[in-house]
Amino acid sequence: MRWSKPAAVLCVAYSLVVAGCRDAGKDQPTAQPPAPSVGPDGQPFAATAPADSGSPAHAAAQQFVTDLRGSAATDPNRVSARFLKVIGKPLGTSPEDQAKKFSGAAAGQWLKRVAAAMGSDARVSPAAGAAREGSAVFVGSFESGAVPKGRYLIRLVEDGGAWKLDWFQVSAAEARVPTTPIDPFVDFAVLSLGDVLAAGPMTADDRAPLGAALFTPAVMAGWEVSQPEDAAGYDYQRGALAAKLDAVAAGKAEWYFRSSASVAAYKIQFGVGAEAMVFVDFALVRGDGPNHWRVDQFVRH
């Protein structure tokens, strides 16, 4: 992969944050193939810039974490329309909710529950991130009594001159990442998937909307959790999907990502050492915007 010097430095910093929960004495992948120079769709990766402490995107990400952990309600205008449609369910009965296909109140409640899962005593570390083409992704760490070693994921999109929240997720998973990063936005998609599946502070019910957003319709249909959109706005069976997510990793919180020489095939391993291991294979396909990826061809074995 061709990286500019700032991008290469960013990838190293980003990987260190992602792997911050790693225990050096535990099993690690012994070898990784070289990072591909093109994305899963066969197109070259675009140039990536650091989203460091001096950037507006980084400041927005850190402010979101602070505000979500505070007592004030979240303003739906600070959240992207795409993410509001993911987390803003169930819909209310008002014509406004039905027309917009999301409930601002439900979205705010979901965000508050996820932030609360970090623990009221959480010590939050600044996030490392990357930005390009009006999108930015961040990975940060936190520690609390409930979650000794945690991680949070944030994606932002630029809209009307402001950075809006496009993804938020917390996890207690100890993820092992490839020694060679692929691309910050691809890495973020892999982290999102692993943390959606792994046991952690977020309930399965709250992880289900993220899973529904990550998986392609083909995966959802294969899991038999799709349904016609109901009055509450769900086009999937939330309880059934939550149960499926929990069943994949069988309660394991620790995982690492095995990269592949193929840009279209990836593998995650749950469990290390003497634990019974679970593997999932999957592909990534383009989502509905720049630097947005979804999970396809998902197989557990």
C-beta separation of 127 from 58 below 8 A = yes
The answer, yes or no, to whether residue 31 has pLDDT greater than 60, is: no
> What percent of the chain lies above the pLDDT cut of 90?
59
C-beta separation of 85 from 98 below 8 A = no
pTM of the model: 0.85
State residue 30's pLDDT score: 46
CA 114 to CA 272: how far, in whole Å? Answer: 27
CA 166 to CA 296: how far, in whole Å? Answer: 20
C-beta separation of 135 from 184 below 8 A = no
Q: How many domains does the chain have?
A: 1
DSSP β-ladder status, 174-176 and 254-258:
parallel
The answer, yes or no, to whether residue 295 has pLDDT greater than 60, is: yes
CA 280 to CA 269: how far, in whole Å? Answer: 7
pLDDT band, residue 7 (cuts 50/70/90)? very low
Structural domain of residue 273, as residue ranges?
5-300
End-to-end CA distance of the chain: 30
CA 85 to CA 123: how far, in whole Å? Answer: 30
